[in-house]
């Protein structure tokens, strides 16, 4: 391989970085054999971001740094599909599928005088949202939802954020035009992660990965969409020009070579017997996949025959879906209890007669909150249907009212906390979703010292978005609590290899790993530590702004509620909560012990920015106010660029403002700047400053 161009030649270096990032995207998403770690990928990416910031003229629209665009104002635009996007007919058993093979396909082909026997290309049917991607001369120019099949919505900006969708085809000789049809979907693991985060933020959770994928594709802010690990695969060509394919498999292979993922599991069968065999094989195997499938799609392999077979008004005759039986299972509610969480809210939970659902034994399901128990009218002794949302999280679909016996009992929520005995209260909280706001009733234990709550706090403290102590899972935490080794997060730092190795089923090597991970967590940024503390109403984002503003834990601890309220984005109630947290004797003790254990209490970002300010430069010590819509940067990115260079940002224009960065449609702030004689710069001037 030729040596990569050095940074002395920025143009060549940028082109090389773009090529490398695209290649690693392909290796990861298409070939599923990554060559580098996420961290190394991020390193290349950051280098390109910095290089382009220093040399904006090198930025191209297909650069991976340009995936995330600005928030959409107004609705999505409706666009006609080049050819209708049909849906598939379904079959549910072997007979129906044989009928399709005999009647729909073979008889028609015979009648049309076709001698050639049809083969079938069979692949998993992935549960996601159907989309269409348009590439002109190899460049991704437009992406549409299926919509009503005739017209879809233009969601190009959101689709650009999906790394599995190449911004340019991997070829020097692209077709004049090609449309890839396929499916955007969400991995189960990612679905679980998103729902957990939403639950923690008090947002309504998504019912399954399909809803989550479809819902996120319709969000107005690509920045938010970019944070969700949506994936994509193509399953059929739409309209194309300047290229030819003989078979469905040839198309899929070509798509892969161009950098578009296809369904990883597929085969070509010479007859319907082989198709059925493959379908049976996957009925069990599909459960181990990290994405939802509800069946198989069977397509005639030869594309020429598609034209002969044609379509009905609703669906093609050359393809059909085979649907696996839905995994809804009947069981009985044996008991309902409630478990305390890290904020003191108790979540009701049903215990069932254990049953197999989608491959695992289900014994419990969350009933979410008191209102949910009332709404579904779930009683102890009821027969219920349960399923797995996204085939992972078990939930009660409905009560079988017709089977309700005389002995069922309404659940009485406990009056005392099952963990600490404290008297419980019923509170109302608001659950927000895009469509509605609902007030729900929740049970709450007001005892901040509740051991059950501490268990959850330790789990949260160690979790990925917080101190990221990878090997410290729930089971181990339970053992540590049971052995009396740990009562709160600070106790983790007193653990030693000897103490851990004494635990049942704990090898010396894993004990060592855990201790090393705990040790490593001491270096985490202050923002992560603040998030990990579980201060009421302080999530990851607030923790970040607090860390940046106060720079050290010490300063934040000493700050009054009024001083905290001065932080942008922190309201009076949150500020009160933070001040009260640090004033509380028990929390104070916890934080003191964390500090003496040697945890980092300084903001690393703030440190970096201070150094930049001290080093001087166009941004050092200057205050910027952003207004209007920027075309090349998101607000967050622009603010970050300013702050990373030692500048500051403010929300309103005053005599202290050095620059107003005005994008398109700038309003009152621009007027005020002009009145006060503050320097106003546009995006081009801003980019010049970045280069200085």
Classify residue 471 by burial, with Cβ atoms within 10 Å: 0-12, 13-18, 19+. middle
Name the residue nearer to ligand IVH (CB basis): 290 or 474: 290
| Position 125 contacts ligand IVH (CB under 6 A) | yes
C-beta pairs of 468-472 under 8 Å, 24+ apart in sequence: 468/521, 468/524, 468/528, 469/514, 469/517, 469/518, 469/521, 470/517, 471/510, 471/513, 471/514, 471/517, 472/514, 472/517, 472/518
Q: Minimum distance between the CB of residue 514 and ligand IVH, rounded to whole angstroms?
A: 42
Alpha-carbon distance of 307 to 290, in angstroms, equals: 35
| Position 88 contacts ligand IVH (CB under 6 A) | yes
Q: Are 191 and 120 in contact (CB under 8 A)?
A: no
263, 357, 543, 666: which one binds ligand IVH (CB under 6 A) = 263
Q: Are 165 and 159 in contact (CB under 8 A)?
A: yes
Alpha-carbon distance of 146 to 217, in angstroms, equals: 12
299 is catalytic: no
Q: How far is CA 390 from CA 88, 192, 384, 416, 477, in A?
A: 22, 8, 19, 34, 27
- Span interacting with ligand IVH, options 65-73, 111-119, 240-248, 316-324, rule CB under 6 A: 316-324
- Span interacting with ligand IVH, options 23-31, 33-41, 85-93, 350-358, rule CB under 6 A: 85-93
**What does the H/E/C string look like for 282-337?**
HHHHHHHCCCCEEEEEEEECEHHHHHHHCECCCCECCEEEEECCCCCEEEEEEEEE
| Position 488 contacts ligand IVH (CB under 6 A) | no
Name the residue nearer to ligand IVH (CB basis): 213 or 511: 213
Q: Are 606 and 632 in contact (CB under 8 A)?
A: no
| Position 123 contacts ligand IVH (CB under 6 A) | yes
- Structure tokens, 322: 């085979």
| Position 292 contacts ligand IVH (CB under 6 A) | no
- Span interacting with ligand IVH, options 118-126, 135-143, 223-231, 517-525, rule CB under 6 A: 118-126
Q: Which parts of 168-207 interact with ligand IVH (CB under 6 A)?
A: 183
| Position 87 contacts ligand IVH (CB under 6 A) | yes
| Position 462 contacts ligand IVH (CB under 6 A) | no
Q: Hey, is 614 helix, strand or coil? A: helix
The mark string for 127-166 relative to ligand IVH (x by CB under 6 A, - otherwise) is: ---x------------------------------------
| Position 297 contacts ligand IVH (CB under 6 A) | yes
Compute how many residues bind ligand IVH; rule: CB under 6 A.
16
| Position 353 contacts ligand IVH (CB under 6 A) | no
- Structure tokens, 464: 């990925």
Cβ contacts of residue 682 below 8 Å, gap of 6+? Answer: 661, 662, 663
CA neighbours closer than 13 Å in the CB half-sphere of residue 37: 3
Q: Minimum distance between the CB of residue 166 and ligand IVH, rounded to whole angstroms?
A: 19
| Position 317 contacts ligand IVH (CB under 6 A) | no
| Position 260 contacts ligand IVH (CB under 6 A) | no
| Position 319 contacts ligand IVH (CB under 6 A) | yes
Catalytic residue among 125, 342, 632, 669: 125
Q: Minimum distance between the CB of residue 295 and ligand IVH, rounded to whole angstroms?
A: 8
Classify residue 519 by burial, with Cβ atoms within 10 Å: 0-12, 13-18, 19+. middle
The mark string for 631-670 relative to ligand IVH (x by CB under 6 A, - otherwise) is: ----------------------------------------
- Span interacting with ligand IVH, options 122-130, 165-173, 206-214, 642-650, rule CB under 6 A: 122-130
| Position 316 contacts ligand IVH (CB under 6 A) | yes
13, 168, 235, 422: which one binds ligand IVH (CB under 6 A) = 235
Catalytic residues: 125
Contacting residues toward ligand IVH, per CB under 6 A: 86-88, 123-126, 130, 183, 235-236, 263, 297, 316, 319, 321
């Amino acid at each position: 391989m030729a040596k990569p161009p050095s940074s002395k030649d920025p143009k060549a270096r940028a082109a090389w970085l773009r090529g490398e990032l695209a290649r690693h995207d392909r290796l990861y998403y298409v070939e599923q054999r990554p060559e580098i770690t996420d961290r190394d990928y991020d390193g290349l990416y950051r280098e390109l971001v910095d290089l382009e910031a220093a040399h904006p003229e090198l930025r191209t629209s297909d650069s991976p740094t340009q995936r995330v665009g600005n928030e959409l104002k107004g609705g999505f635009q409706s666009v006609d599909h080049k050819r209708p996007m049909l849906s598939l007919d379904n079959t549910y058993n072997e007979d129906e599928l044989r009928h399709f093979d005999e009647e729909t396909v073979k008889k028609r082909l015979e009648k049309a005088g076709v001698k050639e026997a049809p083969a079938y290309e069979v692949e998993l049917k992935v549960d996601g949202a159907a989309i269409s991607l348009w590439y002109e001369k190899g460049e991704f120019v437009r992406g549409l939802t299926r919509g009503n099949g005739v017209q879809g919505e233009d969601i190009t900006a959101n689709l650009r954020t999906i790394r599995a969708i190449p911004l340019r085809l991997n070829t020097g000789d692209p077709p004049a035009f090609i449309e890839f049809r396929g499916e955007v979907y969400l991995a189960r693991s990612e679905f679980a992660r998103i729902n957990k985060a939403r639950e923690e933020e008090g947002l309504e959770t998504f019912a399954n990965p399909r809803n989550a994928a479809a819902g996120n594709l319709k969000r107005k802010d690509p920045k938010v969409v970019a944070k969700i690990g949506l994936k994509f695969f193509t399953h059929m060509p739409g309209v194309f020009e300047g290229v030819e394919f003989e078979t469905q498999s040839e198309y899929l292979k070509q798509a892969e070579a161009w950098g578009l993922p296809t369904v990883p599991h597929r085969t070509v069968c010479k007859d319907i017997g082989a198709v059925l065999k493959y379908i049976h094989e996957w009925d069990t195997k599909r459960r181990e996949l990290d994405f939802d499938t509800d069946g198989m799609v069977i397509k005639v392999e030869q594309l020429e025959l598609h034209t002969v077979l044609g379509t009905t008004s609703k669906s093609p005759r050359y393809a059909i879906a085979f649907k696996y039986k839905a995994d809804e299972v009947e069981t009985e509610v044996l008991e309902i209890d409630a478990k305390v969480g890290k904020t003191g809210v108790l979540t009701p939970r049903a215990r069932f007669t254990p049953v197999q659902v989608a491959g695992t034994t289900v014994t419990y399901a969350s009933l979410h909150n008191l209102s949910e128990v009332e709404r579904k009218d779930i009683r102890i002794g009821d027969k219920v249907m349960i399923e797995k949302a996204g085939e992972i999280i078990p939930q009660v679909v409905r009560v079988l009212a017709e089977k309700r016996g005389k002995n069922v009992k309404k659940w009485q929520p406990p009056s005392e906390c099952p963990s600490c005995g404290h008297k419980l209260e019923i509170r109302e909280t608001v659950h927000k979703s895009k469509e509605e706001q609902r007030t729900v009733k929740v049970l709450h234990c007001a005892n901040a010292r509740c051991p059950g709550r501490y268990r959850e706090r330790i789990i949260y403290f160690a979790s990925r978005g917080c101190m990221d102590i990878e090997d410290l899972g729930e089971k181990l935490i339970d053992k540590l609590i049971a052995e009396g080794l740990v009562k709160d997060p600070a106790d983790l730092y007193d653990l030693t290899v000897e103490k851990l190795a004494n635990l049942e089923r704990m090898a010396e090597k894993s004990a060592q790993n855990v201790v090393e991970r705990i040790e490593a967590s001491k270096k985490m940024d202050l923002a992560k530590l603040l998030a990990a503390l579980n201060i009421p109403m302080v999530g990851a984002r607030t923790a970040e702004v607090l860390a940046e503003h106060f720079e050290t834990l010490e300063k934040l601890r000493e700050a009054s509620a009024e001083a905290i309220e001065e932080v942008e984005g922190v309201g009076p109630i949150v500020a009160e909560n933070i001040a009260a947290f640090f004033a509380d004797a028990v929390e104070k003790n916890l934080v003191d012990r964390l500090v003496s254990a040697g945890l980092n209490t300084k903001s690393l970002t703030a440190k970096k920015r201070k150094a930049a300010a001290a080093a001087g430069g166009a941004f050092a010590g200057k205050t910027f106010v952003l207004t209007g819509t920027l075309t090349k940067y998101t607000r967050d990115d622009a603010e970050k660029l300013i702050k990373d260079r030692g500048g500051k940002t403010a929300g309103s224009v005053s005599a202290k403002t050095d620059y107003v960065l005005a994008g398109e449609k700038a309003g009152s702030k621009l007027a005020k700047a002009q009145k006060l004689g503050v320097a106003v710069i546009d995006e081009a001037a801003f980019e010049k400053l970045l280069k200085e």
